Amino acid sequence: MPRGKKLSDVEQGKIDLLIQQGKSQRQIAEEIHRSQKAVFTYISKQDTYNEKHAGGAPKKLTERDERAIGRALSNSTKSLAQIKADLQLNVTRQTIYNAVLGSPIIKREQMKRVPKISPAHEAARMQFAQNHMTTDWSLVWNIT
């Protein structure tokens, strides 16, 4: 944790100028009235000095993994556990679900429950299909 304020842009510019003049860290610290540690930190981390760390643990899934999950789930009835096994991912089911939720392309929904087709219904459908095999369906008004 830092104990003081970050160096301002003006102070950073002064440090850069004094380094070019060949001054030591101690001399620079005395001249800008900051600690030697602050000067050392700025010099050693010039590229990332003012950038904030995003924090948190690194992601378990790469972008490539997330795309693979999207492809596997696209227009599919597979469960998340099956996707995990197929793609050989070493993450939890919840992590895969979070990737699905974060994807703007995939919309995961539970399938609607429908009654099973009974043998009588199946036979009736087959009979209808056989009776109407030669029907010209373009003449039916509500079929496009």
Can you list the domains of the chain with their CATH numbers?
Answer: 1-53 (1.10.10.60), 63-102 (1.10.10.10)
State if pTM tops 0.75: no
Contact 71, 65 (CB under 8 A): no
101 CB-contact burial (10 Å; exposed 0-12 / middle 13-18 / buried 19+): exposed
In three-state secondary structure terms, 1 is: coil
Q: 102-108: which pairs have CB atoms within 8 A and are 24 or more residues apart? A: 102/66, 103/66, 103/69, 103/70, 105/70, 105/74, 106/70, 106/73, 106/74, 108/73
Query: Residue 144's pLDDT is what?
Result: 62
Computed from CA positions of residues 98, 101, 107, 109, in that sequence, does the dihedral angle turn out positive or negative?
A: positive
pLDDT along the chain (144 residues), means of 10: 79 92 93 92 84 83 93 86 94 93 81 89 96 86 71
Q: What's the rounded Cα separation, in Å, for the pair 81 and 92? A: 9
Cα 75–101–109 angle (5° rounding)?
A: 45
C-alpha torsion 125→126→130→131, nearest 10: -30
15 within 8 A of 30, measured Cβ to Cβ = no
